[in-house]
């Protein structure tokens, strides 16, 4: 039977706007009001109650994209992550987290949870055995992030859902890298899907926001915590995010295509030792990627061969800028050991498989030929310098 649900592009463009009844404008009017006349005691509109007209409208779009009943918006990805984790854990509870996680999530867990008397464990790896052996009697939540940053390793989402359901454990996923365009974890049994909307949902490097999608019951529980912690998103940014999300499906699909082409091109380059991209047959999780993802994202990590210097290479790039963040329409590049993973000891980095030559490329929507030309001239520059040294 064919589903009546609109396709991803149509949801992005049409679902969940605020209707302009008065002037019939094409876009959502922006309600900046922080004060609303009350109709009855049940409906009190207020920005920190997460129920202003623009917030409610955009949440409908996000919920439908994630195949969730409801969604909530936050002021940052970390507001979404921290509020959601705290909503499901009480003193004496335990949370199992995947070994490799976004740095901010790792810091939140390791610096804050003790204060609430909440226990946590990180898994040794990504396998079923790794997760099962980390589960304890008081485990209430399993938290995963797939694909993970920066090596683009995957966790089997269905395996996690099954393992957790058998034990009555709630599952959360950080779905930022994949986006609902490439991966809908709730369809695979995950309870709660979390986003840094600062990345692909925003997509233009000009918004800080977060989002959570889940069942009505789970969103109610997160809302109860969210109104106390107060991490709501300003309505102006909600409005900007709605504008961004209208093009999310076409942006992300273009980024998927460009990234796959760049990954294949890099794999053949003599100065590249290794490419990490789940859409490549050489990636250890290629089969799993085909099973649980529709596209393989715009992020490609690769290792320069030992003879090439990452600093000189990234400096030589002209079109592709060095940047801490990712997922914009413009391509950016970063050296994990100099930025995101700078504070880790060399031993810890090598345990996580992060080599000195590793670079993380966030592929934008430029023409492939221009990206390749930029990479080619930068590779030429580093190989000339090597030649001079000899
Ligand atoms: C950026 C990011 C976050 C945190 O989001 P902010 O908007 O910076 O708070 C969380 N998870 C992942 C995977 C991210 O890339």
Per-residue pLDDT tens for 351-388?
Answer: 888 899 999 999 999 999 999 999 999 999 998 766 66
79 Cα nearest atom in ligand 1: 9
Separation of 319 CA from ligand 1 center, angstroms? 25
User: Does residue 292 surpass a pLDDT of 90?
Assistant: yes
C-alpha 267/C-alpha 281 separation (Å) is: 11
Record the tokens describing residue 325, joined without a space: 């963040």
- The topology (CATH level 3) of 250-389 is 3.90.1150
Question: Residue ranges of the domains in the chain?
Answer: 8-245, 250-389
Say if CB 171 and CB 131 are below 8 A apart: no
Identify the band that residue 49 occupies on the pLDDT scale cut at 50, 70 and 90: very high
Q: Is 176 in the pocket of ligand 1 (CB under 6 A)?
A: yes
Q: Is 196 in the pocket of ligand 1 (CB under 6 A)?
A: yes
Cite the beta strand spans of the chain per DSSP E: 70-74, 94-97, 119-122, 139-145, 170-174, 192-196, 210-214, 272-276, 299-304, 321-322, 332-334, 358-362
Q: Is 362 in the pocket of ligand 1 (CB under 6 A)?
A: no
User: Does residue 83 surpass a pLDDT of 90?
Assistant: yes
Separation of 377 CA from ligand 1 center, angstroms? 32
CATH 3.30.465.10 for the 8-245 domain, yes or no: no
- Asked if the bond preceding 150 is cis, omega within 30° of 0, the reply is yes
Q: In this structure, what is the dihedral angle of CA atoms 312, 315, 320, 321, given to the nearest 10 degrees? A: 130
C-alpha 355/C-alpha 337 separation (Å) is: 8
pLDDT at 88: 98
Instruction: Give the pLDDT mean for 133-160.
Output: 97
Reference 302, options 347, 250, 267; nearest CA is 267
Write down the pTM of the prediction: 0.96
176 Cα nearest atom in ligand 1: 13
Q: Is 199 in the pocket of ligand 1 (CB under 6 A)?
A: yes
Separation of 196 CA from ligand 1 center, angstroms? 5
Separation of 238 CA from ligand 1 center, angstroms? 17
Q: Is 210 in the pocket of ligand 1 (CB under 6 A)?
A: yes
Instruction: Give the pLDDT mean for 250-256.
Output: 98
What is the strand order of the sheet 210-214 is part of? 70-74, 210-214, 192-196, 170-174, 139-145, 94-97, 119-122
105 Cα nearest atom in ligand 1: 10
Backbone torsions φ then ψ of 16, nearest 5 degrees: 80, 30
User: What is the separation of C-alpha 281 from the centre of its chain, rounded to a whole number of angstroms?
Assistant: 23
What burial class does residue 246 get, using C-beta atoms within 10 Å of its C-beta: 0-12 exposed, 13-18 middle, 19+ buried? middle
Q: Is 77 in the pocket of ligand 1 (CB under 6 A)?
A: yes
Separation of 251 CA from ligand 1 center, angstroms? 19
The three-class DSSP label of residue 33 is coil
Burial code of 64-98, b = ≥16 C-beta within 10 A, e = fewer?
A: bbbebebbbbbbbbbbbbbbbbbbbbeeebbbbbb
Separation of 65 CA from ligand 1 center, angstroms? 19
Instruction: Please give the C-alpha separations between residue 106 and each of 78, 199, 386, in angstroms, as whole numbers.
Output: 11, 18, 38
Question: DSSP label at 7?
Answer: P
208 Cα nearest atom in ligand 1: 7
Separation of 92 CA from ligand 1 center, angstroms? 27
Atom 2 in ligand 1: residue holding the nearest Cα: 196
Strand partners, 173: 144, 193
Q: Is 177 in the pocket of ligand 1 (CB under 6 A)?
A: yes
Separation of 195 CA from ligand 1 center, angstroms? 7
Instruction: Give the pLDDT mean for 163-176.
Output: 98
Q: Which residues contact 362 (CB under 8 A, 6 or more apart)?
A: 298, 299, 323, 325, 326, 327, 328, 331, 332, 333, 334
| Mean pLDDT across the chain | 95
Helix axes 103-112, 77-87, angle to 10 degrees: 40
């Amino acid at each position: 039977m064919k589903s009546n649900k609109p396709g991803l592009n149509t949801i992005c463009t049409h679902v969940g706007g605020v209707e302009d009844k008065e002037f019939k404008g094409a876009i959502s009017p922006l309600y900046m009001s922080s004060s609303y006349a009350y109709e009855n005691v049940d409906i009190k509109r207020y920005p920190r109650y997460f129920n202003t007209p623009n917030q409610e409208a955009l949440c409908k779009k996000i919920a439908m994209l994630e195949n969730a009943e409801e969604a909530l918006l936050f002021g940052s990805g970390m507001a979404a992550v921290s509020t959601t984790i705290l909503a499901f854990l009480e003193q004496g509870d335990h949370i199992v987290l995947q070994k490799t996680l976004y740095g901010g999530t790792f810091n939140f867990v390791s610096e804050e949870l003790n204060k609430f008397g909440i226990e946590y464990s990180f898994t040794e790896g990504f396998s079923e055995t790794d997760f099962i052996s980390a589960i304890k009697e008081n485990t209430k939540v399993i938290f995963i992030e797939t694909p993970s940053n920066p090596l683009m390793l995957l966790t089997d989402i269905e395996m996690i859902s099954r393992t957790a359901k058998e034990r009555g454990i709630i599952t959360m996923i950080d779905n930022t890298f994949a986006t609902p365009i490439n991966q809908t974890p709730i369809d695979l049994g995950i309870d709660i899907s979390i986003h840094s909307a600062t990345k692909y949902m925003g997509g233009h490097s000009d918004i800080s926001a977060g989002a959570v999608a889940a069942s009505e019951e789970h969103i109610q529980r997160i809302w109860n915590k969210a109104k106390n912690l107060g991490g709501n998103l300003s309505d102006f940014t909600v409005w900007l995010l709605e504008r961004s999300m209208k093009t999310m499906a076409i942006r992300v699909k273009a980024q998927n295509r460009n990234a796959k082409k760049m990954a294949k091109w890099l794999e053949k380059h003599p100065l590249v030792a290794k490419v990490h991209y789940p859409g490549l047959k050489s990636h250890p999780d290629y089969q799993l990627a085909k099973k649980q993802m529709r596209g393989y994202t715009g992020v490609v990590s690769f290792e320069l061969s030992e003879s090439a210097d990452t600093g000189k290479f990234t400096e030589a790039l002209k079109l592709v800028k060095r940047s801490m963040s990712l997922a914009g329409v413009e391509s950016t590049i970063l050296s994990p050991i100099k930025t995101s993973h700078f504070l880790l000891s060399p031993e810890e980095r090598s345990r996580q498989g992060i080599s000195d030559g590793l670079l993380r490329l966030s592929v934008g929507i430029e023409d492939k030929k221009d990206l390749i030309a930029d990479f080619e001239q930068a590779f030429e520059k580093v190989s000339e310098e090597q030649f001079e040294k000899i």
